[in-house]
Structure 1
Amino acid sequence: MKPKVTMQNIADELKLSKNSVSQALTGKDGVSEDTRKLIIETAQRMGYIYSRGKKEMSNLPLSGKFALIASDFAFSMHSFFGQIYLSVEKEVKQQGYELLIQSIGPDSVKELLMPTIVQNRSVDGMIILSHITTDYINALLDTGIPAVLIDHHHPQIKADCILTNNRFGAYEAVSHLIELGHKNIGFVGDIAFSPSYYERLDGYRMAMYEYGLPIREEWVHTSAIEDGSFICSYIKGMREQPTAWFCVNDGLGFFLNAAVQQQGLSVPEDVSIVSFDNGYLSRISTPPSTTVEVDLKLYAVKAVERLIERINCSDDPFTELLLPTRLIVRGSTVGPRVV
């Protein structure tokens, strides 16, 4: 990992005093405009990290560019994050900006290596898509470049966030199953993978609690892997099946649908399934899966809108915006069999 560039390093490079460098980077009087410009350009070239909360950004020329930053893994999930990316690109262009795409690999995450466009301060703002790691996101925020997060938040991250109302979406999905007559409802998801999945577990528990239904913990799988063989093994090893499942995403719903049918059970006659996201897999399941829709285009609109507001009003309190969901009822849910 490269050593952190300091004001003293910049001063040594230009053979100026540290005080002059500080005055230039904090917008204070005491240096000529030519010297200020030289110091700022040198700071950009050397990869100086501006401390969050200071006013240095106001002294840098606007580039007319935004960065969309996400992990390699997030960019590989074309069916979900690919749609968000395309919507962000369209919205950014409509607002008169250019969008630069930056994928972050595992080595960069581990070493907290910032992208060149961030080190050189060649963007006016950043849209950070989904989770990377808390340390890495905070390193991005510590540059002082205005930023908005999409589909991720964390108590240790202080930034504007555009989020899905995961709890209420899950609550509505499980309530749908209960109102069909199901009392034995399971949960499948990996809550360590994303705060969104943990919040969907909260929504599941909230619905079961409010309807007065017991939760059998052996039917709550909170570390499920999105893999067909894993889900088949899990279902095959169960001594007793619930009559309905809530899955935190469409991938798990798809694999669960197949696993249940491999055990000789019918969907939805024997087992009903609800998933989340309204992605491609929910539509090609047999039968198509009842799911919770996320408005991906609205993510883009609100993220770009909030980023521009943050650039113009840097001292505003950070906000979290919860976007509503919509339950789409398809063929994977009916009432339980009457025995």
Structure 2
Amino acid sequence: MSSTESLPSQSSQILPRLQAEYVHASAEQVLAADDVLAVIGFADAPAQLDDPRYLRVDLQSDGPTPLEVWRTGAGVRSGRHGALNWSCAQDYLFFSIEVDEQRAGGVAAAAEQAYAEIGGWLETHPLPDARPAHVLRLWNYLDAINEGEGDDERYRQFCRGRARGIVGVARAGYSAATAIGRRDGRRVLQVYGLAAGVAGTAIENPRQVSAWTYPRQYGPVAPTFARATRTGANQLLISGTAAVVGHQSQHVGDTLAQLDETLRNLDSLHAAAGAEIAARGMAASLLKVYLRDPNDKIAVADTLARHRPALSTPLVLFGDICRDDLCIEIDGIQG
């Protein structure tokens, strides 16, 4: 796995854009539409709904929190396969799974189980026109991500288990991904993702070492994700991005300096993804900002408004970042 240039471009293949937006409405109302592929709720959203297209992640905010809604062509189908929920249309597929850590035997075993089940299901469940589904983007949420010392840290254990189970998910290489810590005390690993009938292209950031080549100091198994995925619709799906240059965290203890460094990394990713994506830039992206300290929200929002006034309002959520010396992380879907 290496840089963009070493991977074949898929952008010439036909794939409609995934429509992603934040919506202030009831989840039941949104899910009534037959073009809705997925609805992700946070904070005050319902804990559960009897619809495989819906998942709630217990990350809090300090006000009314919109739903994240993915739309594609009409005629979305959905169902369940064991612990895995899914929905699909002609070109895209959404999937989610929750694994109880205690029943699985710990967070590493839960990660291995989740990824093995996703990979096995993808191998036997193609898209409606029989095309295989290629994973474009993954999100991972687990409680107390920084708990534990050294290699016993829960994030490092998660990485260990994910690496054991990811083979079927990463048939065409690693995709973009996010891993964030919830604070709900519920030891349940949540994984959800997006796949499509056209493979994406992994994008690496020239300012950063590829995650899978991190040195041993970050754990026994390096994280297995790309910095972004460029889709066949020439959209950019951006991994959780923080103030890391090379492989080292920058500006420890200074949230606003880390925000500035994160924005530089996001600009670098857009440039690495090609001229069309770079021209659209972050202003065309649906962004999530993850903050370790809720007290930083106003300063972060003011900084974004001052330095990036063209940005649409991001969704700000409070959670723990995968490294305990990082205060902020941003991910996004370019429209």
TM over 0.5: no
Higher Cα Rg, which structure: 1
So what's the TM-score if we normalise by structure 1?
0.28
So what's the TM-score if we normalise by structure 2?
0.28
